[in-house]
Structure 1
Amino acid sequence: MSVSSSAPLIAYASAPALAIAFWRNFLAAGVLAPAALVHRRGELRAMVAGDRRTEARYSVLAGVALAVHFGTWMPSAQLTSVATATALVATQPVWQGLLALGQGRRLRPVMWVGIGIAVAGAVLATGADFGTSGRALLGDVLALVGAMAGAVYTAFGERARVSLSTTTYTLVCYSVCAAGLLVVCLVAGVRLGGYAHTTWLAIVGLVVGAQLLGHSMFNYALRRVSATTVSMLILLEVPGAALIAWLWLGQVPRAASLPGLALLVAGVAVVVLGSTRALRRPPEPMV
């Protein structure tokens, strides 16, 4: 539900998408930093000069991939419709499956069936267009690149979260992402301030909802379920974003999208129920 608010808020905010992406990650890292410094000093120290350097490397790589994800998908939400951008970025599970194959894993046939059903449902539900104009075409391409980067981000995060706490991993990942986006904004001359108060409220909404309650909970889940399953659950963002865009921004979904929504939910259920990976790790505190 929290992640579903992301694309509508991005479309609503009157600020460059890259700047919104930077503030989203920078402010989220600022919220997490005090908790990490109080409760996870040992982990942070071990990542710099201890036995957690491998996890540190994966966390940094995840942050770079997240910067690419936000730096491509968030602009797409302003270039094309919320429904189209969300549907195309929802192809992430396809790329996640290909990454899993590249890592030597074998997905059960039922999971491939579920991926196919869910992605087909996402496209059908939103009526994703592949470029009725140059602006829309650019948005489509950026959303697809964002989906690929999102798959890489989740895969690296899965490796880092084997032993790292959610707070430590998320802080490092968001900090690296924010630093990368800041460099891009400065080089490109993107305006980082002077926005209307409604835009700042939208950015705060992104930080609290989509970032801290959305992405951070996905990071928490990576300790217990596979990256492929997490990616499939992210597909639920599609109907949620479409509904918010309809009620708030007046982007009315097509009546023909209802069968697609049903396919989407069915595909998610197939993959979750068909997953053979059962991680039995002890629970960790939330901070």
Structure 2
Amino acid sequence: MKQTGSPEARLSVSRPHPWFLLSMILTGIAAISSASILIRLTDAPPVTVATYRVTLAALLIAPWCAFRNRSTPLHWNGRVVALTLSSGAFLALHFIFWISSLSLTSVASSATLVSTAPLFVALFSFLFLNEKPSKKLQFGIFCAAAGSALLAGHDYSFSAEALTGDLLAVLGAIMASGYLIAGRFARQYLGLCAYTASAYGTAALILLPASLLTETPLSGFSGKTYFFLLLLALIPQLIGHTAFNWTLRFLSPTRVAILVLGEPLGATVLAYLFLAETLTIGKFAGLAILGSGILVSAMAMPSGKDSFDE
């Protein structure tokens, strides 16, 4: 993989034990899987949910970062700042495009199309980072995409409005790929705390004005809704996204994007357990294929091909 910046400025971090890396991945998948359940329990517009999610996460992580950064070296330069701000902007745009698509197209179409993020990560990594995915990784991506489509179901529409929503969902997937690729490079120069606080803060600074410009309400909700908005910031964002941002220091963005596809897998199981949603044969098959795709992709490349050279 091509590098950016001077090698001297990069953080020197030893590679974690594989079992610890696996535990962080599983923690991230479990945490982000709770997002759909928590969103279902809130009584607020989608953009409000996204705004609270990243804003509260940025505010909650800031004090810890202020303390941690006293002893952690920071390697800020123009390129690192640009990468970090770009990552936060991509995250905000991902939420804006994807959430907007939900009001125009079916949930099935939106969920399927936004799950194409690994395809764009692999494509952009090949075009701009000179990374060619192996045949095994390509097969894993195909299985993961097919499994996501089966999980989403067959509720599709071809009206002009629905097609606009589909396009927004694809844009959401592209923004998610940008978020992961920019984060991959930024994490080579910044510790987890500095990077996440900056990226989440940037996303919040974009989503807050967007909420005001679109006259999206940010107050007047019930105590229960505020409680679930707080849980969204704590669990899917602070724990889930931060766990995957940690793995970006050691894994390629393509593999991280595929691992993030564990979200619909986990969300389907949680919906079955806590919301009494039916687990049909099609969904069961989708779970099996998606899980297989994630497993194949995770094992597709030796670990040495993921990390930058230390």
TM interval, shorter chain, is: 0.7 to 0.9
1:214 aligns to what?
240
Alpha-carbon offset, residue 74 of structure 1: 3.3
Q: Which runs of 5+ in 1 are unaligned?
A: 283-287
Tell me if 1:36 matches 2:61. no
2:114 to 89, 98, 121: 89
Alpha-carbon offset, residue 86 of structure 1: 3.7
Q: 2: CA distance between counterparts of 1:60 and 1:130? A: 35
SS in 2 for 1:163: coil
1:201 aligns to what?
227
SS in 1 for 2:251: coil
Deviations 1:39-90 (A, max 9, x none): 215779753xxxx332111000000000011112234457667665444322
After superposition, the Cα gap between the structure-2 partners of 1:122 and 1:43, relative to the gap in structure 1 and judged at 3 Å, is same
1:67 aligns to what?
92
Deviations 1:203-247 (A, max 9, x none): 111111100110000000000111011011111111211233344
After superposition, the Cα gap between the structure-2 partners of 1:269 and 1:43, relative to the gap in structure 1 and judged at 3 Å, is same
Moved more, 212-221 or 95-104: 95-104
Alpha-carbon offset, residue 127 of structure 1: 1.0
The answer to whether the 8 Å contact 1:29/1:175 transfers is yes
Q: 2: CA distance between counterparts of 1:195 and 1:4? A: 24
Using the size of structure 2 for normalisation, the TM-score is 0.81
Alpha-carbon offset, residue 106 of structure 1: 1.2
Q: 1: CA distance between counterparts of 2:225 and 2:100? A: 15
The answer to whether the 8 Å contact 1:117/1:266 transfers is yes
Alpha-carbon offset, residue 8 of structure 1: 2.7
The answer to whether the 8 Å contact 2:97/2:171 transfers is yes
1:19 aligns to what?
48
Number of aligned residue pairs: 278
Alpha-carbon offset, residue 36 of structure 1: 1.4
One-letter code aligned to 1:30: L
Q: Structure 1 vs Structure 2: percent identity of aligned residues?
A: 32
Give the alignment of 1:133-144 within 5 angstroms.
Answer: 140-144=166-170
The answer to whether the 8 Å contact 1:63/1:175 transfers is yes
Using the size of structure 1 for normalisation, the TM-score is 0.87
After superposition, the Cα gap between the structure-2 partners of 1:74 and 1:122, relative to the gap in structure 1 and judged at 3 Å, is same
The answer to whether the 8 Å contact 1:225/1:279 transfers is yes
1:117 to 143, 148, 169: 143
One-letter code aligned to 1:267: G
Q: Which runs of 5+ in 2 are unaligned?
A: 1-29
Deviations 1:8-47 (A, max 9, x none): 3223321111111111111111111112112215779753
Tell me if 1:241 matches 2:281. no
SS in 2 for 1:38: helix
C-alpha RMSD of matched pairs (Å): 2.5
2:10 aligns to what?
none
Q: 2: CA distance between counterparts of 1:180 and 1:212? A: 18
